[in-house]
Structure 1
Amino acid sequence: MSTEDGKRSGRPKEVVTDENIKKTHKMILNDRKLKLNKIADSLKISTERVHHIIHEYLGVRKLCAKWVPRKLTFDQNNNGLMIR
């Protein structure tokens, strides 16, 4: 009897790779209204992993249906706002 696991078919354990991070970033830059499901389908990974990549590695969040950096500069934050 062996105590080692046998080989398994399916996805690799680790899908958060530099390549997937770069592809996700490029997709978001090309279309800021892109949905998690569409990114997950094109990369063939789960939406949970896409969510993790976007929030933990890229540091962006959804704002008014667009992906934006989590920390904005003062100019970016006030861009387009009317100051009275």
Structure 2
Amino acid sequence: MGDRRLKIREIAEIIGISYERIQNIIVNELGFHKVSARWVPRLLSVEQKRTRLTISRDCLELFEADADDFLNRFVTMDETWVHYCTPETKQQSKQWRRPGSPPPKKAKSILSANKVMASVFWDSKGVIMIDYLERG
């Protein structure tokens, strides 16, 4: 079947039989059911798939050679933004004022203005290194 996105109604019009009969044939006789495409982060090229297969085979060989030490050989990392702005609390911003005087004004602080990128590296025993890279 060339186009698997055809609707039952379209197939019924092309063949010239009822909608119900086409639905019965597709679902009950052929065992088809309609499924939505699954979202994946990225579609890999043939070369990327080949590289992934090679790496997977190498990892499997390492595992088979020394299963107990296998996980100890891996180091992984993740990145996250760390906000280091500590805004003044409502209690800290209180002031003594005369009756009838307007309250003090304070601009809302923006968390994204003061942040650094933290890169965390770890292995099976724990954190190895944390590296901070400032914005810009």
TM-score by length of 1: 0.42
* Greater fraction strand: 2
Q: Which structure shows the bigger proportion of residues in helix conformation?
A: 1
Query: Greater CA radius of gyration, 1 or 2?
Result: 2
Which structure carries more relative contact order (alpha carbon 8 Å, separation 6+)? 1
**What's the TM-score once normalised by structure 2's chain length?**
0.26
